[in-house]
Amino acid sequence: MEFENIYKTYWDKIFRLCMGFVNDYDIAQDLAQETFIIVWQKLETFRNESNIGTWIFRIASNNCLRQIEKEKRFPKSELPLHITEEKHYSLEPQIELLYKCIAELPEADRIIISLELEEVRQAEIAKIVGLSEANIRVKIHRIKEKLTQKFKENGK
């Protein structure tokens, strides 16, 4: 598959996955871009042992996890004020709340629900995160329950 086609096919999905992880438009944009830089650099090494989408989602997930680790080491409060100023983008309030709720989940749950929202097959999610399909089904059910509860708490 040609890089340009991969980019067009997966950009939106990868961006939304990153957004689910970090709940910050600019950082999600950067993470998605970094993901595609890695994909471009390593495309010739892809051996078709798994679906290319699975491979790309795994790269994006690892990228997001590295970003979260960086944030843990360098909390935003330690950064100069101008770097932490937030920009506001016009997302629908319910979508914004969904990203906020997903961002509050544990890391593993974030990746699982973000992939589920991208309609990645549960068998593929299992491969990406290294769990059984049965375990993924249970986790998705529990995550959806948590998110439903958070929505109810926020009056939605």
d(CA 30, CA 10): 15
d(CA 126, CA 11): 22
Residue 53 · residue 120 · CB < 8 Å: yes
Count of positions (residues) in the chain: 156
Amino acid type, 99: Y
Say what the pLDDT of residue 141 is.
Answer: 95
Domains and CATH numbers, the chain: 3-153 (1.20.140)
Q: End-to-end alpha-carbon separation of the chain, Å?
A: 42
Say what the pLDDT of residue 95 is.
Answer: 78
pTM passes above 0.85: no
pLDDT < 50: residue spans in the chain: 77-88
d(CA 80, CA 76): 8
What the block records as the tokens of 155 is 């009056």
d(CA 35, CA 14): 8
Say what the pLDDT of residue 74 is.
Answer: 61
